[in-house]
Amino acid sequence: MGVCVLDLVLTEWLSATIRWLHVIAGIAWIGSSFYFIHLDLSLKSHKELPDGVKGEAWQVHGGGFYQMIKFMVAPSKMPDELTWFKWEAYTTWLSGFALLVVVYYMNASLFLIDKSVWDMTEPMAAGVAFGSLAACWIAYEVMCRSPLGKHEVALALIGYVFLVALTYAFTHVFSGRGAFTQIGALIGTIMVANVFAIIMPYQRKTVAAMIAGQEPDPHWGAMGKQRSVHNNYLTLPVVFLMLSNHYPLFFATQYNWLIVAIVLLIGPVIRHFFNSQHAGKGSPWWTWAVAAAGMIAIALLSAAGPRGEKVGALPTTPKFSEVTDIVSGRCSMCHAKEPFWPGIATAPNGVRLDTPELIKLHARMIAINAVKSSAMPPGNVSEITPEERQKLASWIAAGAPDK
Ligand code: HEC
């Protein structure tokens, strides 16, 4: 028992520490990439600029002025010191992957597997999740390097269909929560791989050519630019997907995959607004109308109810004792002062459902997690039936009476 508690505390501590690092690295990465996109778009060219310079921008920050100029390809002489931006991206991926292992792969039966979707063993679920990360990244690389890679719009459309199809597939293999995290991790992996396997190597080649006194190939820069544009448009959807595991109505309802499909549209559209504005090409306000319509569609879709079998409305309100029986039988093994579900040390998220008063008190949270969505029980490990959900629904609909 002592070892077991130590193990649980260690896992919690690891999860919290890695998550902290992951969020900070993500902020640093997204922050620097948004900064450079803005800078790149706001460069203005004029006659006095030296040869090979694309443009100039003046900025004010932290009590001083900055004069920024961008050399296309490279300057005629390499500077002695050059700052590279890569560890923000690498740290985000490394910490994110560690978090994926600690939270999802090591707790696969709660967070990755839903037996009613697909009955898998824990190692199998982790294997499928990890294998598909690698396979889908390769598929993306092939797309970008094929002739399709030369047609920006066609690549974007096919890439979109590819991601939506994967989301649909993942929601039919993993639990809703697992599927959302999986597609988020997949897009994140593609983005970091763009930095690691394309942008950085080509930048190194450019620098090496310069030092050797050769003319760098402009194609190298163009390759990096293409991937950098992809990363720009994928950023906002990834952040949504990473936060979505706190919102059962998104990941554990019937049209969860459609919600992701809409987010994959809203994110790039919002980026388009800022890209246009920073480039001085006006403010395409229509983008906000599209984003608002998308968010309304998500709200409506998220009200469609839990995944899986539906049962008709009940004519009567169940007695409160029936409700407490359901909760005791399906929830309290975890949500108690002293949980007895293996791997759960304290009531998850501090939510205790082991007395009638606490059940009544948490009525709203029970509604979101187990009535309006099928987030709880996780992976339906305690096998709540559709009829029991229906009884909880009727109880909630009647205002959660405690009689
Ligand atoms: C196998 C253990 C287990 C069972 C059974 C279980 N839960 Fe949970 N529950 C969890 C875990 C783990 C979390 C924390 C999830 C997270 O970290 O996001 C949680 C979180 C919650 C939360 C808090 C969500 C939030 O937003 O903070 C509520 C409410 C909840 N469960 C309700 C229920 C209800 C109602 C049932 C029964 C129908 C149930 N749970 C059954 C493990 C369980």
pLDDT for residue 201 is more than 70? yes
C-beta 361 within 6 A of ligand 1 = no
pLDDT for residue 73 is more than 80? no
Residue 100 contacts residue 180 (beta carbons within 8 Å): no
Using the atom order of ligand 1, give the atom closest to the CA of residue 362: 29
Maximum Cα interatomic distance, the chain, rounded to a whole number of Å: 85
C-beta 355 within 6 A of ligand 1 = no
Closest residue by CA, ligand 1 atom 5: 331
| pLDDT score for 92 | 98
DSSP state of 345: -
pLDDT mean over 58-69: 96
pLDDT for residue 216 is more than 90? no
Per-residue pLDDT reduced to its tens digit, 312-366: 778 889 999 999 999 999 999 999 999 999 888 889 999 999 999 999 999 999 9
C-beta 367 within 6 A of ligand 1 = no
Bond into 377 cis (ω within 30): yes
Inter-CA distances, 322 with 199, 237, 391, 393, 395, Å: 60, 42, 8, 12, 10
pLDDT mean over 59-88: 91
C-beta 345 within 6 A of ligand 1 = no
| pLDDT score for 237 | 98
Residue environment code for 48-63, b if the CB has 16+ CB neighbours within 10 A, otherwise e: ebeeebebbbeeeeee
Residue in the block written with tokens 């070892």: 3
Q: Torsion angle, CA of 297/299/300/306, rounded to 10 degrees? A: 130
pLDDT for residue 311 is more than 80? no
pLDDT mean over 115-140: 96
Residue 1 — pLDDT band, cuts 50, 70, 90? very low
| pLDDT score for 285 | 97
For a mutational test of ligand 1's pocket, the pick from 334, 371, 387, i.e. the residue with the most ligand atoms closer than 8 A to its C-beta, is 334
pLDDT for residue 2 is more than 60? no
Phi, psi of 53 (to 5 degrees): -95, 130
pLDDT mean over 100-109: 93
Using the atom order of ligand 1, give the atom closest to the CA of residue 365: 29
Per-residue pLDDT reduced to its tens digit, 76-90: 888 889 899 999 999
Q: Is 372 helix (H, G, I), strand (E, B) or coil?
A: coil
pLDDT mean over 23-40: 96
pTM of the model: 0.94
Q: Which of 201, 233, 313 is nearest to 33 (CA)?
A: 233
Arithmetic mean of pLDDT over the chain: 93
pLDDT for residue 203 is more than 70? yes
pLDDT for residue 310 is more than 80? no
Among 46-55, 69-78, 276-285, where is mean pLDDT lowest?
Answer: 69-78
Using the atom order of ligand 1, give the atom closest to the CA of residue 245: 18
Specify the long-range contacts of residues 361-369, CB closer than 8 Å, at least 24 apart.
363/395, 363/396, 363/400, 366/327, 366/392, 366/396, 367/392, 367/396, 368/248, 368/249, 369/248, 369/252
pLDDT for residue 66 is more than 50? yes
| pLDDT score for 169 | 98
pLDDT for residue 27 is more than 90? yes
C-beta 363 within 6 A of ligand 1 = no
Per-residue pLDDT reduced to its tens digit, 137-171: 999 999 999 999 999 999 999 999 999 999 999 99
pLDDT for residue 279 is more than 70? yes
